[in-house]
Every structure is written in C-alpha cells, then in structure tokens.
Chain A
Amino acid sequence: MAPTTQQTSRRDLLKVAAVGTGAAVLAASCSDDEEYTGRGVRVLRASEVPLDPFHDIWRDAPFTDVTLGPQDVALPQRVKPSVTKVRVRSVHDGKKIGFRLEWNDTEVGDKTIRVDDFRDACAVLLAPGDADESLRLMGSAETPATLLHWKADWERIVSKGDEGLDQAFPNRSVDTYPIIHEIPADEVGIDSYVAANATEWLPAIHVKNPVAGKAERASSVEKAIAYSFSTTTSAPTQDAEGRGKWIEGDGWRVVIVKPLGARDEGEIALKPGTVATCAFAVWSGGNRDVGSRKCPATKVEALELDA
C-alpha cells in the first residue's frame, strides 16, 4: 500500500516526538507497519476506535497476516480460494473493539441487483476460549460465535445509495406497478411500497427478512450469531459499524467496530486484559463467492486484548 500524505505526516510527527521530547515509550509502542510477534492478534489499547480505515491509530496497531484457505467442509465449497491472505489489526478503547482488515482484490464487487452480481465481503468471528480451534467453523451448538459481517454492497448503500434498477437495467421499461400505480414506475422504490402499506409485493421485506434489500442503511456490518454452519442468524441488536474503501491496485481496507460488551443472547462479551478466539473470512464477489463459497482463515487466532 502506498503511504498517504496523512500517514507520512503521522510518521514524521512520531519521529519528532521521539527525538524532541524524549518520549521513547511512545515511539516503542508505535508499531508503524510492524508485524505482531506474539500469538494471534493483539488488540492494542488506544484512545479511540476510529471507523476511518486510514486513521493514524490503525498504524499504531501491530498487524497479523492471516492465511486464508479453501472452505472444504460444508457444501457448496470454495475449493480454490480467491483470496489467500488478510492483514488484520485491532484496537480497543475500553468500550469498543475495532478490526481493520486489508486484502487484495482486483475488482470491486459492491452490487447485488443482477442475478450474477455477487458482493465482496469480510467477516470477523469472535468466540470465547483461547484460540479454540473447535469454534473455527462458525461456533458450536454449545458455544455460539459472534459474527461481524461487512458487506461491500451495504457499504455502497451507506455511502452513496444503491445502484438502483434504472442504472442496473438502463433499457428497462415498466408501465406501472399494481397498487402503487399512481407513482411513475421509474420513481418507485422500496419506500413507495412501505408508504402504501403494500409490502406484500416485496415478499422478503414483508416478512421482515433482516438482510432483505433496503433503500437506506445505517451500517455496512451485520452482527450475527451462529451455532455452527447453516445457523447464522442476524442479532436483534445491530450495533456493529463499518467503513470500507477500495483502492485500485491495493484492494479493500475495511474497519469493523462493535461494543466490547454483549447485548444479545449468544453474543460474546470481551474484556480488556483477556484472551478470546477469533477467525476471519473474505469473499470475492468477482469470483462468485457467496455464503459458504468463501475463503476462511486456515486456523483460529488468539485475540489478546491489552488491559
């Protein structure tokens, strides 16, 4: 990744701080592009947990390179992973924990309208224990896993709105939609059905499918609880946030943030100064990755939270 102006100036400032004020401790704790040499992923204690993937605080956190491999357990599988490495950094501020994931993908997949549009995505799995390998595959019946799933198409909706049917299908022509026929067809959206109390025409929205399309979104991250494969369920409280940016040639830089505490049944409560289990996964939409067709970490990591 090419250093940005902001990053360069941060590095310079640190040098000045170290030399000029004799703040050797500060310089030593700064792991500017430094690999974590301990076990697993270190969660650095920071003054805040920034959402911006390019915030200087992320450079202070030592990184761990996590190897991604095939998903060869549940069917359908992704036998040949499309992404083989994700670089992970983590910080907490005593209230929230954040992860910054960085991986290369040559094209952006942030649309899901067409039948063959698949999104880029990444996920953090959090579970109790100390790098408990038995929980790698989405937790277990006894010990649920908390999943934080960032979705590139949700990110797009948060930042600039959905692509929209007119853009996805520029030559489409619709005379009218029943029930909401007074609205010109090209102005119809999910909101039109909601306002007309006619969501029966949008079945998944009518039955309140938690991941069904939305005109607007507050967050690009879904918090879910899983008790093994096929059991992922959206958590009742959606309090995870995210921010992602794709850079030509470099791929995705994504931040995922959640409160340290737990608010939902099965959710993990993380405490400063303790160790937990974490794992990661990446999906490449351009490779039709979706659901179990994913690139998971080949092993779980210990998540070591600074006190």
Chain B
Amino acid sequence: MAEVTNWQLNRAMYYPYEESRPTRQAAAVFDTNKCIGCQTCTIACKTCWTSGQGQEYMLWNNVETKPWGSYPLAWDVRELQLLGPQTWDGDTYTGNTIFEAAPAGERNIAWKPTELDYAYPNRGEDETNVSITTKRYNLKLPHDMWFFYLPRVCNHCTYPACLQGCPRQSIYKRPEDGIVLLDEERCRGYRVCFEACPYKKVFYNHTTKISEKCVFCFPAVEQGIQPRCMRNCIGKIRSFGFLSKPEEVREDNPIDFLVHVRKVGKPLYPQFGLEPNVYYIPPIHVASDDFLTMLFGPGCLDSIAAYKKAMNGEDPELLAALLLAVSTDRIITRFKLVGNRVHAWAENGDQVVDMPLKVPTVERVPFDPDLNVYRYNFT
C-alpha cells in the first residue's frame, strides 16, 4: 500500500500503487439541473460500442433517476452499506475509503452483483422521493417532492478500483490523458474489476466471456473530438475537456474553472476514495441536504449557491463556462468572456465557439406578408 493524495477528500489515503497522475485528465462536468432524462447519451454509446452479442445488458452510459433509480440494482446503496456509516470533518473526509476498509485478503470493499441485479435498468425511473399526493409540494424551491436524473459513465478515476483489483494487471491508465482502458487481449474474465468498481462500470461480455468497460471514446479524444455521449447530449448538460493536475490549474480551462476555481462540479461519492473524474453540478431543487451531501460530498451546498449566483446574472464568467457545454464537437481547452461574447478555442488554436452570453430577444410582427403566414412569439 502506498500513501497518495486525494484532493477530493482533502487528505492522504492508501492505494495499492504509488501516486502517478496523468499529464492531464480527461474529465467531464454534468449539470444535473439540465438533464431531461432523454437517454440520448445512453443510445449514442450503445449504438457505437455495445451493440454486439453478449453486450445486450451493457450500459457504459446510463441515466438513473435519483433517489430510487440505480443500475445495477441499488449499486450505491449496497456499496455504502458495506462501507458502513462514515464521517466528514468539514471538507476533510475522516472515514474509510473502500481501499482502507478492505477485508482480509481483498484489495477493497466490493459489492458483488448477480445477473438479476442487471435486470431492471430503469427501476425507479421518474419516481419522486415521496408518494405523490394532491398537496402541491413543488411551488417552492427547493421542492419537498423531487427527483433528478443522474447520468453516469465510467469516471476514469485517478485511483481506479478496477485497475488495482485486477490480479493480471490487464487494466491501465493512460499517462497522456488518464483514460482507463481494459486490455481485451490480456483479460481472462476473472471479474475482479467488475466487482471492485464501486460505480459498477465494468461489464462482463456474455459471449466473449471477457470484461469490457467505457473507453471515453479515446479514438475521438485523440483527434480532439469529444466522446459520443457528450456530443449528442440533448440537454447540453455535458462539458468535456481536460482537468489539470491540482497544482497546475488554469482559470481559462473551462473544466478547471468549473471544478477547481468556481468549485461547482462535484465528484460522485467521493468518500469511496477513487477521485472520480466525472463531476456533477448538484440539483438546486432537492430539499435534502443530507442526500446531496451523501452523493456529492460536503461542498455540494456551496456549489448550489455558486450556481444560483450564475443563473441570477451575478457571475457571468461562470455562466459563460456553463454555456460552453455541447456548443461544439471539438474539445475546448481555453475560453474567455469578452463583453457579452463567449469565445473558446481547441487545443490547436482553432476558435471553436463565438457566441453571445445573452441571446438578444427579437419580437416579430405576427403576420409575415412575404410568405403570407402568421407567426407567434412565445417568451
């Protein structure tokens, strides 16, 4: 066991391998407030990567409705149950990570799913936290009655549980972009990774009998193009880019800005200890601080406050960074707000975004005599 830094826990922790951060980390920020649960991301991934025989049940990308949804069945609740009650002291995690709580002879605490746990991918979909009654809970913010969508992909963790679990070292993390890949030639289908990943983002192929996982569309990323699930997001909730090492944060890198500068992007279940690299802007309408803190860590309430400020026009720069989500297929590495316009550039210097922060409102006359049609304005 080596001692490594986990900035999400604000402390050192134990991990089987030495700390070895990639030069930069492929990462994403998902704004849960904008997700409409359309599953376009799920299908974009499914049709691209997992439409072969043996992959039927695989959802490298899935969208679950919280609080009740989960795929596989109750994955997070069962992992949390194994870990037991844990504590934070302010921003510092004082509990055990899944590695630190490993039982004798194992590398981490791991819930072991059965085939049946994969039989209900949309369990809990669109279900509210409490039963719907005639009382109108939702006329105030936050809502007493709520649900929200949680889109999930592999987090390409800084400390991947899948990687450390594999006794054959068939899983590796690329030093150039931190993408975690499973070597399809070396794997023997032992499924230790499949059990070890607390997010349950490694899958076992029923036909090839070898494990598979999300590849973050690395062939696209290598060409400066965003992964498919990100590019196709209908709700434009997904910002994809590269997160710098904590000591090399750049304010003009939109992902660094969202995660490290404005701190609106929060990790999912940071207490597991993997330093996951898909970050979430927590929902602003959920009337359970405890639930949100359990999912996104103690910083989630500050994140909500910062997000609200941006939405109220008090932080135009943050609004600018958020607006970049799915504004281009290219990977944005730099952005700038100049007056009312948001500019963004790809790594090779191409300007890939130039758009207004606020779109001007145009009111048209209802009747267009040229085309002899009526048009209505809705605002």
Contact = CB atoms under 8 A, between A and B. Distances in A.
B167 A229 contact: yes
Interface in B92-127: 104-107, 112-115, 118
B208 interface: yes
B162 to A, nearest CB: 13
A76 B209 contact: no
B81 interface: no
Contacts of A190: 53, 207
Of the listed residues A76, A79, A201, A288, the one surrounded by the most CB atoms of chain B closer than 10 A to its CB is A76
A247 B205 CA distance: 30
A135 to B, nearest CB: 19
Nearest to A229: B167
A207 interface: yes
Chain B CB within 10 Å — which of A178, A189, A212, A292 has the most? A212
Interface stretch (A23-31, A90-98, A113-121): A113-121
Contacts of A72: 105
Contact of A203 (B112, B168, B210): B210
Contacts of B152: none
Contacts of B206: 113-114, 165, 168
Contact of B185 (A74, A79, A202, A208): A208
Given A114-B115, A202-B208, A230-B168, A290 B191 contact: yes
Given A77-B105, A213-B208, A229-B167, 4 more contacts: A79-B105, A115-B114, A165-B206, A205-B208
Contacts of B54: 165, 202, 213
B243 interface: no
Contact of B107 (A76, A206, A232): A76
6 contacts: A78-B105, A116-B114, A190-B207, A209-B184, A209-B208, A212-B209
B167 A75 contact: yes
B14 to A, nearest CB: 13
Contact of A213 (B167, B191, B209): B209
A38 interface: no
B167 A204 contact: no
B165 interface: yes
Given A78-B105, A115-B113, A189-B53, A209 B185 contact: yes
Interface string A162-190: 00010010001010011000000000111
Interface string A229-241: 1101000000000
B169 interface: yes
A206 B185 CA distance: 9
Interface of B: 16, 47, 51-54, 56, 104-107, 112-115, 118, 165, 167-169, 184-192, 194, 204-210, 212
Contacts of B205: 202-204, 213
A204 B184 contact: yes
Nearest to B107: A75
B334 to A, nearest CB: 35
A284 to B, nearest CB: 15
Nearest to B206: A113
B53 A203 contact: no
- Tell me if A's interface is mostly helix, strand, loop or mixed: loop
A76 B204 contact: no
Contacts of B191: 115, 290
A230 B167 CA distance: 6
A76 B106 contact: yes
A112 interface: yes
A20 interface: no
Contacts of A193: 52-53
A115 B194 contact: yes
Contacts of A75: 16, 105-107, 167
3 smallest A-B Cβ distances: which pairs? A201-B52, A77-B105, A204-B210
Contacts of A141: none
Nearest to A230: B168
A163 to B, nearest CB: 10
B51 A177 contact: yes
Contacts of A229: 167
Contacts of B208: 202-205, 209, 212-213
A202 B53 contact: yes
Most chain-B CB neighbours within 10 Å: which of A112, A193, A205? A205
Nearest to B207: A213
Contacts of A113: 206, 209
A112 B168 CA distance: 19
B52 A230 contact: no
Indicate the member of B53, B185, B189 with the most A CB atoms within 10 Å: B53
Given A79-B104, A193-B52, A204 B113 contact: no
A291 interface: yes
Contacts of B165: 76
A201 B237 CA distance: 30
